[in-house]
């Protein structure tokens, strides 16, 4: 588990760094940065279920808020969201944000599973 935590902490830190050139960078730097920091704490055995669940809840609220935009993208026939790094159409930005939040929620699920398995608070 320690190796996966190190790898995921590094990946989410990289996600945070590449957000610096985004339209709304600090929001996403903060979201991905918090996930990375929680993984760093997990590396040293400091997983707190309430922290993981609290941050997962925050991500889930945003996830649900963006769901209509994601459904709209699906109804559009799922046009490419990788054509360019610049989001020229609103659906590109919303879909990327939705999928980024999904990754964060999955990461929090992974950490929660670790906390339960290790019988941590």
* Domains identified in the chain, total number: 1
State how far the alpha carbon of 97 is from the alpha carbons of 44, 71, 109, 118, in Å: 30, 13, 18, 32
- C-alpha of 12 from chain center: 8
Q: What pLDDT is attached to residue 86?
A: 62
Residue 38 pLDDT exceeds 80: yes
State how far the alpha carbon of 27 is from the alpha carbons of 22, 32, 52, 83, in Å: 10, 9, 18, 23
Phi, psi angle pair for 73, to nearest 5°: -60, -40
Res. 81 pLDDT band, cuts 50 70 90: confident
Residue-range definition of the domain harbouring residue 104: 2-117
Res. 120 pLDDT band, cuts 50 70 90: low
The verdict on pTM exceeding 0.95 is no
Residue 121 pLDDT exceeds 60: no
């Amino acid at each position: 588990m320690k190796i996966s935590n190190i790898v995921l902490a590094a990946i989410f830190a990289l996600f945070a760094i590449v957000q610096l050139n985004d339209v709304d960078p600090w929001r996403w730097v903060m979201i991905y940065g918090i996930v990375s920091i929680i993984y760093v704490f997990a590396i040293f055995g400091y997983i707190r279920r309430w922290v993981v669940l609290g941050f997962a809840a925050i991500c889930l609220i945003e996830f649900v808020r963006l769901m209509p935009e994601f459904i709209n993208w699906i109804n559009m026939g799922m046009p490419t969201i990788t054509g360019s790094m610049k989001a020229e159409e609103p659906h590109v930005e919303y879909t990327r944000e939705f999928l980024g939040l999904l990754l964060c929620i999955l990461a929090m699920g992974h950490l929660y599973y670790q906390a339960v398995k290790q019988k941590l608070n």
